[in-house]
Amino acid sequence: MTVQIAPRIVVDTTVRFGKPVIAGTRVPVDLVVGAMATGMTTEEVAAEYDIAVEDVRAALAYAAQVLAEDEVRATT
């Protein structure tokens, strides 16, 4: 069963072990974000993984949302 968790981002337990992927593909969000972190442009990432530029932006927006909701506590 595919569940949309954000615009253009879905999860399905039968695809990539339930990791968030670009809708209609098997391209994981973390792969897209990681490619951007290496210095690739949005257009290069889109071409490399055969997804739309809007998909790349959606992956970045989803990652930002997840990080914004994450709570990290420093311990000393």
pLDDT for position 75: 87
pLDDT in tens, the chain (76 residues): 999 999 999 999 999 999 999 999 999 999 999 999 999 999 999 999 999 999 999 999 999 999 999 988 888 7
Distance in angstroms (rounded) separating the CA atoms of residues 65 and 24: 21
Alpha helices in 1-76 (DSSP H): 29-37, 42-49, 53-69
pLDDT for position 69: 93
Q: Which residue has the tokens 């593909």?
A: 25
Instruction: Give the distance from CA 47 to its chain's centroid.
Output: 15
3-state secondary structure (DSSP) of residue 2: strand
Element (H, E) at 12: strand 9-12
* Domains in the chain: ranges and CATH: 2-69 (1.10.10.10)
pLDDT for position 29: 98
For residue 75, the 8-state DSSP code is -
